[in-house]
Amino acid sequence: MPKLVKFIITLVSLGLIGWVMWTFLGVKPISKDLSVIGQGSPVVVLVYESYAPAGMDAMERLNQVRSDYEPNIKFRVAHLGTPEGDVFVRRHEAFDGVIVLFDAAGEVIRVTTVPSQIDQLRRELERLR
């Protein structure tokens, strides 16, 4: 293989890796610390399974609007397959791709799937303001 072709393949590969890192690492991860529920701020908890499509899609939509609502609303993840996540799921009868909205006192406002439309998701989050 000619050196120029190897160089172009290397350059394209590095560009692709850089784009992936910029896209995914630029988003601040959502904490799994559920102890903030009932501690004076509204909380949105996403039930999430890292390898399931519903949770991945829900996480992507939530990340699109999250910065508009923080720090007034805390965003957390109940990760299925962890002891804390599994307890949360049983307590709130939730499943992958569902959000549970809590008021500042820790009372459940609503349990619902993450809306597929961003404007609908914003309306759900407005319930907590």
Exposed / middle / buried, residue 41 (Cβ in 10 Å: 0-12, 13-18, 19+): middle
pLDDT of residue 29: 83
- CA neighbor of 112 nearest in space, from 88, 91, 95, 90: 95
pLDDT of residue 14: 66
The CA radius of gyration of the chain, in Å to the nearest whole number, is 18
With a cut of 60, say whether residue 20 has pLDDT above it.
no
Exposed e or buried b per residue across 113-125, where buried means at least 16 C-beta atoms within 10 angstroms of its C-beta: ebbeeeeebeebb
Confidence band for 27, pLDDT divided at 50, 70 and 90: low
With a cut of 80, say whether residue 18 has pLDDT above it.
no
pLDDT tens for each residue of 33-75 = 999 999 999 999 999 887 888 888 899 999 999 999 998 999 9
Q: For the residues 27-33, what does the mean pLDDT come to? A: 83
Inter-residue contact 65 to 114 (CB < 8 Å): no
pLDDT tens for each residue of 89-124 = 999 999 999 999 999 999 999 999 999 999 999 999
